[in-house]
Structure 1
Amino acid sequence: MIEVRGVTKRYGRSLAVDDLSFQVRTGQVTGFLGPNGAGKSTTMRMILGLDRPSSGAALVDGRPYRSFRRPLHKVGALLDASAFHPGRTARDHLRAIALSNGISPARVAHVLGQVGLDPVAGKRAGTFSLGMKQRLGIAAALLGDPELLMFDEPVNGLDPEGVLWIRTLIRGLAAEGRTVFVSSHLMSEMESTADHLVVVGRGRLIADLPIRELIAAASGAHVVVRVAAEHRPAMISALSAGGAQITLEPDGALKVAGMDAAGAGALAHACGIPLAELSPRRSSLEDAYFELTEDAVEYRAKEVAA
């Protein structure tokens, strides 16, 4: 288990992480979400002992990561896919890491095959594409057959096949009883992969709950109602009288909030209005995420007049 206890990190006058506390539990995938500058990478670095907290503690199974004699057997991590000597082959890069932690050469061959790099194991890593570098970083994380795994943007640079592969790998690792902690900006991937979410903004905890609960609490759920143009004013009037909030979409559909599909259908029937479409739309993780982090975005683009 990973435990972050009241961690604060300052860089001079800049506050990167502010009294942050959460746990990453065994046997599930915990997603770590937040806008750019929210403190996610800094927090992961503190868990791995690469940065020292200004106050508080980041622990792995109740101990600082630095206290483990052979840490790769406990935690495997991918934080930077370019963290290798570009002149080394993929095989030699992994052999050097394995030697430092008493890991056998046979394990190097195994993880190269596991990530699909065995055909290019003898090539210099500096010639790899971004997606291949990601696979090499994931191989390094898997090298010690660790109980806990941490991945920062693991799908970055991967093609669609690679994205499906890493999604399946992450779910499989959790199913084996391992602890998996994943940071990503891709909401669709988190929605497909994570069991639990930790959301941060401006260095502070915003949410720490199962993904289903977070999505269910979002206000993005709505009903799409489509009627013929001549019936649209009457339908809008009936829905408004029933307490719904209606948005007219560019294609003429009505986006209805505050009323479920059954209620909208019953109103249409009572008014004698034929429906061309009545579709409930559930909230997505993206909807929930934007609601939670609306006030925590530090770098927001401004509209520029044409």
Structure 2
Amino acid sequence: MSMIDVRGLTKRYGPHTVVDDLSFTVEAGQVTGFLGPNGAGKSTTLRMIVGLAAPDRGSVTIGGRRYAEIPVPLLEVGALLDAAAVHGSRTAYAHLHALAVSNGLPRRRVGEVLARTGLESVAGKRAGGFSLGMRQRLGIAATLLGDPKVLIFDEPVNGLDPEGIRWARDLMRSLAAEGRAVLVSSHLMSEMAQTADHLIVIGRGRLVADAAVSELTHASGEGTVLVRAAEPGDFALRLSAAGAGVREGLEGSLVVSGMSAGDIGRLAAYHGVALSELTPQRVSLEDAFMELTRDSVEYQGVAA
């Protein structure tokens, strides 16, 4: 079921078109990763979804309604766009309690979301003394207060340590497993590869890809094959002569492209070359992302 429906969304700031005729949907029951280089228009798009910015053209609906038409948004949409948007003198409990009361939610929800986000032990501490990672957890707790069916997170693992990142990943997956629609913007490709079911990739405000993670990595190629041979130099020459691309890997290994593991094995057998390893390497999400967005990067460095 489509929970977020973006259609022809366009946003300009002066002469600059930040979001350009963008359309995509976010489905219930899965984590949708929202990716793009810096300046691609991700944050602006998220702001338009929750009514913090007005589109110049196009529309966004959540569960069939515009955000402004939802009577009590916190009951239907939880959004974390800025973890710093917390009054520093308030305790974690007081911050969440104020949100609960103002939205007509029972006090018990405060304790429940503090427990789910691991903040019970610091509930009485002021948010101004929190680390960035703790503020992220507090922001996530606030999104969960109304038990919404749609959750939107902008860089939710920013500032989290490795344990916190794993916790956030497991939380996103569990929220989707409960039938919620989860939209997550992130720069961490390795994390999105483990968290997201589906990916929306944009560049310069335009849609670049809308596909499952597996589809994106498959479409970007068959990857490489890691090879370890008794005489790597000689075998590299034979691979090159057979049309494969070969480069040196770590600890004397060969990284072979353009030839399947089976063909490499047959070539080795034909020439009597002993192989100690023959391992296909999948195209990483990072490689697929870089290939998709190479023409959309705002600032490009030049290798020395």
**One fold, TM greater than 0.5?**
yes
Partners of 2:146 and 2:302 lie apart in 1 by 46
Contact 1:195/1:211 (<8 A) preserved: yes
Partners of 2:302 and 2:120 lie apart in 1 by 46
Stretches of 4+ aligned residues off by more than 4 angstroms: none
Partners of 1:97 and 1:54 lie apart in 2 by 31
Partners of 1:22 and 1:159 lie apart in 2 by 32
Give 1:247 deviation, angstroms. Answer: 2.1
Q: 3-state SS of the aligned residue for 2:146? A: coil
Q: 3-state SS of the aligned residue for 1:205? A: strand
Partners of 2:84 and 2:248 lie apart in 1 by 48
Q: Which of 74, 87, 95 in structure 2 is aligned with 1:72?
A: 74
Give 1:152 deviation, angstroms. Answer: 0.8
Partners of 2:300 and 2:119 lie apart in 1 by 38
Q: Which of 196, 199, 212 in structure 1 is aligned with 2:198?
A: 196
Q: 3-state SS of the aligned residue for 1:276? A: strand
The residue that corresponds to 2:289 in the other structure is 289
Q: Which of 155, 172, 175 in structure 2 is aligned with 1:173?
A: 175
Deviations 1:216-271 (A, max 9, x none): 11236111222244x523x2333234332222346443221111111101101101
Letter paired with 1:92: A
Alignment of 1:115-264 (within 5 A): 115-219=117-221, 221-229=223-231, 232-233=233-234, 235-249=235-249, 251-264=251-264
Letter paired with 1:59: T
Cα separation, partners in 2 of 1:250 and 1:146, compared to 1, 3 Å: closer
Give 1:302 deviation, angstroms. Answer: 4.0
Partners of 1:42 and 1:299 lie apart in 2 by 19
Q: Which of 65, 76, 88 in structure 2 is aligned with 1:63?
A: 65
Letter paired with 1:263: D
Partners of 1:274 and 1:226 lie apart in 2 by 9
Deviations 1:37-59 (A, max 9, x none): 00001000000000000110111
Deviations 1:189-208 (A, max 9, x none): 11111110000001000000
Over the aligned positions, Cα root-mean-square deviation in angstroms equals 1.4
The residue that corresponds to 1:112 in the other structure is 114
Letter paired with 1:186: L
Partners of 2:23 and 2:186 lie apart in 1 by 19
Contact 1:220/1:288 (<8 A) preserved: no
The residue that corresponds to 1:12 in the other structure is 14
Alignment of 1:37-52 (within 5 A): 37-52=39-54
Aligned residues: 302
Partners of 1:160 and 1:208 lie apart in 2 by 28
Letter paired with 2:266: A
The residue that corresponds to 1:270 in the other structure is 270
List gaps (5 residues or longer) in structure 1: none
Stretch deviating more after TM superposition (293-302 or 145-154): 293-302
- TM-score, scaled to structure 1: 0.95
1:88 aligns with 2:90: yes
List gaps (5 residues or longer) in structure 2: none
- TM-score, scaled to structure 2: 0.95
Partners of 2:118 and 2:171 lie apart in 1 by 12
